[in-house]
Structure 1
Amino acid sequence: MVGGRKKYDVITDYIRQNGGTQVTLTFTQIDELLFPANGLPKTARKTLDWWANDYRYPEKGAYAWLNANYEVVHVDLLKEYVVFRPLLKSAWLLK
């Protein structure tokens, strides 16, 4: 954490600036555009758990997209992409 910013705040900023009804990013885009120094963690490429919409695990990236008011709606580990959509508050409360 540098200057009060968290590791995945760059994702929050990107989604807020580029968001619409849907944001789709490949893992390569995230690596190159968002984390050029070290890329996504290996677990993000191998497990769906890393992409869970769950604040309880800050070492994973969920707080980044949830803070942007988006949620992960699809992850394809083979084709290496993730789809974010605006968070529906009523749907979120039901989970």
Structure 2
Amino acid sequence: MARRKKKYDVITKYLKNNGGSQVTLTFTQFDELLFPANGLPKTARITLDWWTNDYKHPEKGAYAWINAKYEVVYVNLEKEYAVFRPLVKSTWLERN
């Protein structure tokens, strides 16, 4: 059975193919490369809440970058770009 495709899987795929380095994407890149049919959601352009690293709200994009093992570290709504960084596994988690 094929896995159901999710709305933001294209972000996951893009980040996974990045090679594990920091990525900066402009909102225009999201529109043209990742979401050519619909563009980035309007809420992503006007509120930082959409960019929160919160896996519990799949209507936002967080599950896409978290599934790729990335996190958002900076968003500039005025200049329209977001910076993603690979997640780093905490050593204190390994000791417990």
Q: Hey, what does 2:45 align to over in structure 1?
A: 45
Q: Is the alpha carbon distance of 1:81 and 1:88 closer, same or farther for their aligned partners in structure 2, counting shifts above 3 Å?
A: same
SS of residue paired to 2:7: coil
Q: Hey, what does 2:35 align to over in structure 1?
A: 35
- Fraction of identical pairs, as percent: 77
Structure-to-structure mapping, 1:1-95, within 5 angstroms: 4-90=4-90
Instruction: Measure how far apart 1:19 and its partner are.
Output: 4.0
Runs of 4+ residues over 2 Å off in structure 1: none
SS of residue paired to 1:64: helix
TM-score, structure 1 normalization: 0.89
Q: Matched residues in 2 for 1:50 and 1:19: separation?
A: 25
Q: Matched residues in 2 for 1:52 and 1:66: separation?
A: 11
Q: Matched residues in 1 for 2:74 and 2:17: separation?
A: 20
Instruction: Measure how far apart 1:89 and its partner are.
Output: 2.5
Higher Cα Rg, which structure:
2
Gaps (5+ residues) in structure 1? none
TM-score, structure 2 normalization: 0.88
Q: Matched residues in 1 for 2:72 and 2:11: separation?
A: 12
SS of residue paired to 1:10: helix
Gaps (5+ residues) in structure 2? none
Q: Is the alpha carbon distance of 1:19 and 1:30 closer, same or farther for their aligned partners in structure 2, counting shifts above 3 Å?
A: farther
The count of residues paired between Structure 1 and Structure 2 equals: 90
Q: Is the alpha carbon distance of 1:11 and 1:78 closer, same or farther for their aligned partners in structure 2, counting shifts above 3 Å?
A: same
